[in-house]
Amino acid sequence: MNARRQTAVNVLDYQVKRVSVVKYSPLNMEQRNRLKQILAEKSVGRGDFTLASGKKSSFYVDAKMTTLDPEGITYVADLVWQHLQSLPTFPKAIGGLATGADPIVAEVVALSFRRGGPSVYGFYVREEAKGHGTRKSVEGYAGVHGDPVVIVDDVCTTGGSAIKAIERAKENGWKVVATICLVDREEGGREAIERYCPFDALFTADELLTARDELLQKVHS
C-alpha cells in the first residue's frame, strides 16, 4: 500500500471513530429533548455581544444558567454519563477548565456513585497555578501515569479552554480519550480540539437557537 493510500485509510479510520453516534435510549432522548428546552429558555438569546475572545456575536450561550439549574444539570450529567459509556475506553476521571466545567464534573462524579459504578473521579484545571500551598494547576484526582481521562466543557467556541485542560492533563501523564462539550458554537473549536482527541457535543448553538425561535413563536402566536 502506497503512503498516500495508507494516509487516506488512517484518516477514514479516524473519521469513522469520530462520528460514531451515541444511541440514546427512549428515556435519554426524552431527557435530551427536555434539556434542549431548558437551554433554549435559559441559556441562549439573540442580540449584539462581545465574546471572551473579543469577537462580536449576534447570539450568546450562557450555559451556566442551565448547569447550575437543578433540573438542567441532572439531565446534563445523565447524557454525559451515556457518552462516557459509549467510549472505547471508559475514563478513570473527568475534568476541565474552571469554572465552566465544574458543575458538570461534580454532578457526573456523584452520578457514577449513585449508579453503582464504574466510579469516575473528578478534577478541575486552574487558569493559573496556585501561588501558595501546593502550587498545583490541577485540583482533585491524582491518578497515575497513563490513566484515561475525559475533558468536559460547557461551551466550546475556539476550543481554547478545552485545549488548556487537555494540555494540563497530558502534563500529568494522563491519556485524554475524548472531549465532551455541552454546546458547540461551531466556530472552529471542534477542529482545534480534534488535533488532540475525539470531540463530541450534546448540542450545537444552531440547534438551540432554532429551538429558542420556535419557543418564542409559540409564545407570540
91-150 tens-digit pLDDT: 999 999 999 999 999 999 999 999 998 999 999 999 876 655 567 899 999 999 999 999
**pLDDT recorded at residue 26:** 86
Domain residue spans of the chain: 24-220
**pLDDT recorded at residue 17:** 38
Which CATH architecture fits 24-220?
Answer: 3-Layer(aba) Sandwich (3.40)
pLDDT at 16 over 70: no
pLDDT at 10 over 50: no
Report the share of the chain in percent with pLDDT over 90: 76
Provide the edge-to-edge strand list for the sheet that holds 138-140.
138-140, 121-125, 93-97, 148-156, 175-184, 199-204
> Hey, which residues does 180 pair with through a beta bridge?
152, 200
**pLDDT recorded at residue 196:** 98
Joined grid coordinates for residue 50: 462581545
**pTM exceeds 0.85 for this model:** yes
